[in-house]
Amino acid sequence: MLYAILRYLAHNRGFSQICENEDGQMVGTALCGHDGRRGYMYHVAVHNDCRGMGVGRKLVTRCLENLRTAGIAKCHLMVIGTNEQGRGFWEGMGWQYRGGIMLYSQDIL
């Protein structure tokens, strides 16, 4: 899994973000990238002790600023339907649910 994340970061250099506390410990991260047309947010995570302090909002805002600078006009993300806290976070930031899309997956390895 670490190798896959490193490959993703190398392919989308400069779009993902981390947040550290005063002691240099990572307290939040957001994986972000694009395909040349659309941006994608992945795995935004904030340490439980730091939730509600604006860390996630800052991470996402920086990711979106970087996408905008790269000329990317729209960003998508996926949230597991039962993740009410996650859905509340995104809706609170102005993201809109987009119905009518079905996600398909296939194992290829």
Q: Quick check: is 108 in a domain?
A: no
Q: Which domain holds residue 17?
A: 2-92
Q: Quick check: is 109 in a domain?
A: no
What's the pTM?
Answer: 0.88
Measured distance CA(7)–CA(104) in Å, rounded? 23
Q: What is the pLDDT of residues 4-55, one digit of tens each?
A: 888 988 989 999 999 999 999 999 999 999 999 999 999 999 999 999 999 9
Please report how many Cα atoms fall inside a 13 Å half-sphere around the Cα of residue 82, on the Cβ side. Answer: 0
Q: What is the pLDDT of residues 75-105, one digit of tens each?
A: 999 999 999 999 999 999 999 999 998 989 9
Q: At residue 2, does pLDDT exceed 90?
A: no
Q: Quick check: is 29 in a domain?
A: yes
- Residue 61: which CATH number? 3.40.630.30
* Number of C-beta neighbours around residue 29 at 10 A: 19
Measured distance CA(15)–CA(84) in Å, rounded? 26
Measured distance CA(24)–CA(2) in Å, rounded? 21
Q: Which residues pair with 74 in a beta bridge?
A: 38
Q: Quote the number of domains for the chain.
A: 1
